[in-house]
Structures are given as structure tokens and as C-alpha cells.
């Protein structure tokens, strides 16, 4: 009697089950495996690392827009994608992102600091302070000048540096010296030209006798040099030379008040000679001893530059 090899059939069945899995969790069931990329979306990059985005393997920003390299700005500064000069850019003044905002004014940037470019219509910068911007003045009002310690002195009849003086320190182009000379035939003579003060029979009495402003500004008036018919000169604030002769020129500009340490200039007349002095003693002596007539105080001049 022949018996079928049942043990061979059972062995074959065991082999098939081992290869296909038996549903008990010991096989490679795709529904339970954590290694499949189709279930996680993970993508392995070329260097072997894993990315959480299935579609991206290149450098980009979080928004998906590629990041641009910074511009080449040379001597300028890089602010984002802009090349700026931090010393003059009111939108990036002294530092990237520092924007100048000036009340009632258009902003500017100067030397890495915010400044006022111009005031809004009807507003005025009275104190020069960009922090508080421009000020609103009423009808007929003017700015009250404000001095600042260490501020350079300007030729403006104001005390710019708070030292109690104004226009001092020989501000370039501000004041010029007047020389005083005399002649036995032409009397007293006042000129800006030192050589002219020694010309002909003139002899200098005082070089740099007093100083006058070189240009007009509020509070100053011109002092005209006039030629009389007898060849002598005299000096007046009248642009017609008081009808005594033609105008030769302007000696300078004197003050209508005692601005900035100015002293009075006195005018006398005697023996066809117009005589000008800043000394009260000399004025009174000319009247008492030499018969001059004191005519007027012409204005104010300065004893130094």
C-alpha cells in the first residue's frame, strides 16, 4: 500500500506563508510600515539627508521665494537690497532703518544725524533743533535767536556761541578796518586803503582806527565817502552826499545801535574840515581847543574785527 507524502505538502505551505505574511503583524504590511516614503512624504536629498517637503531640495525662503544675494555696494552701506549712504540718507540715517521724521518739516540727514531740509509753509525753524522741528509764528512775530555753546560765530550781529559777544574773532569777510590820516591841505581823511592813507601829503594818524561791516544786513546802514568841490572828503549816511558833491564809494556799513560792542562815531566840522572820532575826550578837546563844531553822532563802529 502506497502512502502520500503529507509531510512534504505541509512543508511547502509553511514556506509560502513565511514569504507572504500571515496577517499577524510580523510581515511587511504597507498599512503598518513606517518606512515607506509614500506614507510620510519624506524625500531623501542627494547628500543622504531627509527633507519634510516632497517637492523642494533647493535653497529658498520659507515663503518659497528664492533669497537674493546682497548687492555689491562698494563704499556705500548695504541695507537689505539697497545701497545707501548712511551719512545723508534720511530713510537710513546713521544706521539702516533709522528714518528721520521732523515735525512740520521735510527731513534731511547730515553727518549721520537727522536735520531739517525745509519747513512746511508758514512754519519757521527758530532754534535750529530738529528734535522739535519747525515753529509756528503769529502775524508779525520773528524768531528769538538761540545761542549754543561751541557753535561757530557768524557775521550776523548775534551772539551765536553764548559768550556775551557777537561777530567776534575776525569772522572772515565780516568787518574791515578803516585807516585815519590827515593832510595840511586836505584835512582829515578816512580810507580802507593803507597805501592811500600815506599818499600825497597825507600822513597816517591811526591804522585800523575802527572797523565797519563789509556788507549790508538789518541794523546796518552804509557810510558813503563823498568828494567836495575843494578836493576834501567827508562821510555821511546820505546817498546824495547831502548835496555837497558826488559819491566816491562806500566806506562800509555802520550800526544804527550799539550792536556787539560797537562804539559811537562822532562827526565834527571846522575850518572846512570834517573830522570823525570815536573818542569823547578828543571830540570835546577839538571843540574847546580847535574851534570845531560837534555836528552829530553818525552811528556805531567797532574797535576791532
Q: How confident is the model at residue 128 (pLDDT cuts 50, 70, 90)?
A: confident
The per-residue pLDDT for 62 is 59
The per-residue pLDDT for 61 is 52
> C-alpha cell of 178?
578803516
Q: Classify residue 48: in a domain, yes or no.
A: no
**Is residue 50 pLDDT above 60, yes or no?**
no
Q: Classify residue 142: in a domain, yes or no.
A: no
pTM: 0.56
**Is residue 283 pLDDT above 50, yes or no?**
yes
Residue with cell 510600515: 33
Are residues 126 and 180 both part of a single domain? no
> C-alpha cell of 258?
550799539
Q: Classify residue 234: in a domain, yes or no.
A: yes
Exposure of 262 by Cβ count < 10 A (0-12 exposed, 13-18 middle, 19+ buried)? buried
**Is residue 6 pLDDT above 80, yes or no?**
no
When divided into structural domains, the chain yields a total of 2
Give the CA-trace dihedral at 240, 241, 244, 248, to 10 degrees: -100
Q: Give the C-alpha separation, 131 to 133, whole Å.
A: 6
Residue 155 or 32, more confident: 155
CA geometry: angle 214, 218, 222, nearest 5 deg = 45
Q: Classify residue 47: in a domain, yes or no.
A: no
Are residues 179 and 295 both part of a single domain? yes
Q: Classify residue 9: in a domain, yes or no.
A: no
The H or E element spanning position 285 is: helix 280-290
Q: Classify residue 225: in a domain, yes or no.
A: yes
The per-residue pLDDT for 175 is 94
The per-residue pLDDT for 64 is 67
Q: How confident is the model at residue 161 (pLDDT cuts 50, 70, 90)?
A: confident
Query: 84: which strand partners?
Result: 77
Q: Classify residue 94: in a domain, yes or no.
A: yes
Q: How confident is the model at residue 63 (pLDDT cuts 50, 70, 90)?
A: low
Q: Give the C-alpha separation, 254 to 174, whole Å.
A: 12
What residue numbers bound the domain in which 121 lies? 77-136
Q: Give the C-alpha separation, 278 to 164, whole Å.
A: 22
**Is residue 45 pLDDT above 70, yes or no?**
no
185-219 confidence digits (pLDDT tens)? 999 999 999 999 999 999 999 999 999 999 998 88
The per-residue pLDDT for 270 is 94
Q: Classify residue 207: in a domain, yes or no.
A: yes
Nearest CA among 273, 281, 271 for reference residue 189: 273
Using DSSP bridges, classify how beta strands 247-255 and 233-236 pair: parallel, antiparallel or unpaired: unpaired
Q: How far apart, in Å, are the Cα atoms of 78 and each of 68, 74, 90?
A: 13, 9, 15
Residue 273 or 166, more confident: 273
The per-residue pLDDT for 34 is 41
Are residues 112 and 228 both part of a single domain? no
Residue with cell 550799539: 258
71-123 confidence digits (pLDDT tens)? 889 889 999 889 999 999 999 999 999 999 999 999 999 889 999 999 998 88
Q: How confident is the model at residue 166 (pLDDT cuts 50, 70, 90)?
A: confident
Are residues 189 and 128 both part of a single domain? no
Helix (H, G, I), strand (E, B) or coil at 180: strand
Are residues 180 and 97 both part of a single domain? no
Amino acid at each position: 500500500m502506497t502512502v502520500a507524502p503529507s509531510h512534504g505538502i505541509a512543508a511547502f505551505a509553511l514556506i509560502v506563508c513565511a514569504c507572504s505574511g500571515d496577517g499577524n503583524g510580523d510581515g511587511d504590511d504597507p498599512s503598518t510600515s513606517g518606512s515607506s516614503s509614500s506614507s510620510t512624504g519624506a524625500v531623501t536629498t542627494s547628500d543622504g539627508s531627509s527633507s519634510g517637503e516632497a517637492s523642494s531640495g533647493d535653497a529658498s525662503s520659507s515663503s518659497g521665494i528664492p533669497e537674493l544675494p546682497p548687492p555689491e555696494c562698494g563704499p556705500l552701506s548695504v541695507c537689505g537690497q539697497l545701497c545707501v549712504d548712511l551719512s545723508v540718507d534720511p530713510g537710513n540715517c546713521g544706521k539702516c532703518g533709522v528714518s528721520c521724521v521732523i515735525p512740520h518739516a521735510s527731513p534731511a540727514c547730515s553727518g549721520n544725524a537727522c536735520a531739517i531740509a525745509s519747513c512746511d509753509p508758514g512754519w519757521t525753524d527758530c532754534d535750529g533743533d530738529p528734535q522739535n522741528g519747525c515753529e509756528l509764528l503769529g502775524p508779525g512775530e520773528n524768531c528769538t535767536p538761540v545761542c549754543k555753546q561751541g557753535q561757530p560765530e557768524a557775521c550776523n550781529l548775534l551772539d551765536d556761541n553764548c559768550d556775551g559777544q557777537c561777530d567776534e574773532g575776525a569772522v572772515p569777510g565780516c568787518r574791515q578796518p578803516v585807516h585815519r590820516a590827515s593832510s595840511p591841505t586836505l584835512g582829515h581823511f578816512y580810507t580802507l586803503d593803507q597805501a592811500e592813507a600815506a599818499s600825497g601829503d597825507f600822513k597816517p594818524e591811526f591804522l585800523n582806527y575802527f572797523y565797519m561791516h563789509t556788507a549790508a544786513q538789518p541794523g546796518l546802514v552804509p557810510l558813503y565817502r563823498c568828494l567836495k568841490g575843494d578836493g576834501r572828503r567827508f562821510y555821511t549816511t546820505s546817498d546824495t552826499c547831502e548835496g555837497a558833491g558826488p559819491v566816491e564809494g562806500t566806506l562800509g556799513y555802520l550800526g544804527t545801535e550799539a550792536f556787539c560792542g560797537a562804539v559811537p562815531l562822532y562827526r565834527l566840522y571846522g575850518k572846512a574840515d570834517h573830522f570823525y572820532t570815536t573818542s569823547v575826550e578828543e571830540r570835546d578837546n577839538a571843540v574847546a581847543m580847535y574851534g570845531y563844531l560837534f555836528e552829530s553822532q553818525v552811528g556805531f563802529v567797532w574797535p576791532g574785527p
